[in-house]
Amino acid sequence: MHPMINIAVRAARAAGSILLRYSDRIDSLNITTKHRNDFVTEVDRAAEQAIIQVLQNAYPDHAILCEESGLHKGNDFQWVIDPLDGTTNYLHGFPQFSVSIALKHKGVLEHGVVYDPLREEMFTASRGAGALLNDRRLRVSVRKRLEGALLGTGIPYRDQSQLDAYLGMLRDLIKDAAGVRRPGSAALDFAYVAAGRLDGFWEIGLSEWDLAAGALLVKEAGGVVSDISGGDRYLETGNVIAGSLKLHAEMVKIIRPHLTDHLRA
């Protein structure tokens, strides 16, 4: 395993143990509202600090972009961190959340780690070296058509300006798919596509820290990740489609008629 992945795994475990430690006293957590339906707790912050500490000990010159504390400037290496992906689930005791850590070099994704501390599942990927779940190599599913496919998605709950467009996509994808799931941690949704547990995934309005590590997992597991129009600007737009080659192409085709000017941009 690449030394940088080892450090990222160590950081993810440190954050994961904080998430587990606080999880039996959710009711006494200090919760603040960032925006409508957007919460941050002392757990998000404590987990983020634990990650930063591990990364800065190993690589003091690297830049770090974090969901809660923003950008810590540095050299051409930049870590992209979501210390708790699935805060709403976490606050409700709904057992689906993760830690997401990616490393970019000069803007190119090099390494990604998504960690589910409840199931002790560590998903890792390095560019050109494949993706793993713990020690097992991952491949996206072999399903070629939407018929029978299990899809993951995220339903917009903060910015609802694109809700009608989203519901149009959902309606058309539901027609053929075997089922659509909304698990609530985008990073894990990507990891599940990489593992073949979901055949495809789409969501609009994500942030870079929700998807950077997960997107690399899917690609390194042999899948395709694009923005919502089928292009490669998903890190910037946060509007994303992921799946195996054929299924991804089918999803792009079904989603396309529902794109608004805002989503096409």
Binding Ca ion (rule: CB under 5 A), the pick from 85, 116, 189, 227 is: 85
By rule CB under 5 A, what count of residues binds Ca ion?
Answer: 5
> What Cα–Cα distance (Å) separates residue 109 from each residue in 57, 71, 73, 79?
21, 17, 18, 10
* Total residues found in the chain within this entry: 265
Site for ligand IPD, rule CB under 6 A: 82, 85-88, 154, 184-186, 203, 205-206, 210
185 binds, among ligand IPD, Ca ion, none (CB under 5 to 8 A by kind): ligand IPD
206 binds, among ligand IPD, Ca ion, none (CB under 5 to 8 A by kind): ligand IPD
Alpha-carbon torsion, ordered 9, 11, 13, 14, to 10 deg: 170
238 binds, among Ca ion, ligand IPD, none (CB under 5 to 8 A by kind): none
- The span of 48-56, 85-93, 128-136, 256-264 binding Ca ion (CB under 5 A) equals 85-93
Among all residues, whose Cβ is closest to ligand IPD? 154
Alpha-carbon gap, residue 256 to 251, rounded angstroms: 8
Strand 108-116 and strand 70-72: pairing? Answer: unpaired
Q: C-beta of 202: minimal distance to ligand IPD in Å? A: 11
The verdict on 82 binding Ca ion (CB under 5 A) reads yes
| Residue keyed to tokens 């923005």 | 227
Classify 88 as helix, strand or coil.
helix
- The span of 89-97, 118-126, 175-183, 209-217 binding Ca ion (CB under 5 A) equals 209-217
Cβ atoms of 113 and 10 within 8 Å: the answer is no
